[in-house]
Amino acid sequence: MQDYKDFLAEILIDEQTLQTRIKELAEEINRDYIGKDLLLICILRGGIVFLVDLMRHITVPHQVDFMAVSSYGTGARQSGGSVRLSLDLKTDIRSKDVLLVEDIVDSGNTIAYVLEFLQTRQPHSLKVCTLLDKEERRETSVQIHYRGFSIPNKFVFGYGLDLDEYYRNLPFIAVVDLKKYQPPS
């Protein structure tokens, strides 16, 4: 595998900026969920790093669960297309105050699908918290209640977001130079 420095175009959001903003988001959530029955739902796998850092600053009592969706009909390093559930929750969400924790909203298709699907299970409330928002790429409109950063239409990696499943560990959000990146064979 290549070292990420070989195809790094730029660091879009550095570690300190990420951590400062995540703490602010958690403080907003702490204020809004007093007296509620908060359930954080992380959409695997991109949301994991964000979830863990966010929940360490959440002081209201809450539960955590995970779900996974896959999109198909699109190539690698693309999103959109149709979406289906590949891993369901363990928790019964009826009467819970559900907050979806996502790495990035791009076309909006994934989150729109998940919202529609979860709504049928009748949670008490259902909101969206995304670290990154690529508004320019939106195909399906979705309401975002907590947004870390709006970003330009560039393919990013690091901090949970992958390039062909690698580089999720990096502590910052980086832009890939696709001319220099060699996908694994």
Catalytic residue numbers, as ranges: 106
Q: How far apart are CA 175 and CA 158, in angstroms?
A: 9
Q: How far is the CB of 60 from ligand IMP (least distance, A)?
A: 25
Whose Cβ is closer to Mg ion: residue 39's or residue 51's? 51
Residue 48 corresponds to which tokens in the numbers above? 């994991």
Q: Is 106 in the site for ligand IMP (CB under 6 A)?
A: yes
Kindly tell me which residue out of 12, 13, 49, 103 binds Mg ion, with binding defined by CB under 5 A.
Answer: 103
Contact 118, 126 (CB under 8 A): yes
Query: For Mg ion, which is the closer residue by CB, 53 or 103?
Result: 103
Cα separation, 66 vs 50, whole angstroms: 13
The interface with ligand IMP within residues 63-82 (CB under 6 A) comprises: 79-80
Name every residue whose Cβ is closer than 8 Å to that of residue 9 and which is 6 or more positions away in sequence. 154, 174, 175, 176, 177
In the complex, least distance from residue 85 CB atom to Mg ion, rounded to whole angstroms: 14
Binding mask 120-159 for Mg ion (x = CB under 5 A): ----------------------------------------
Question: Between the CA of residue 90 and those of 55, 128, 163, what are the distances in Å?
Answer: 19, 19, 28
> Do 141 and 107 meet the contact criterion of CB atoms below 8 Å apart?
no
Q: What angle do CA 138, 117, 106 make, to 5 degrees?
A: 20
Shortest CB 77 distance to ligand IMP, Å: 7
- Per CB under 6 A, does 133 bind ligand IMP? no
Least Å distance between CB 36 and ligand IMP? 25
Of positions 46, 108, 148, 158, contacts Mg ion by CB under 5 A = 46
Q: What's the CA dihedral at 144, 48, 65, 154 to 10 degrees? A: 30
Q: Is 37 in the site for ligand IMP (CB under 6 A)?
A: no
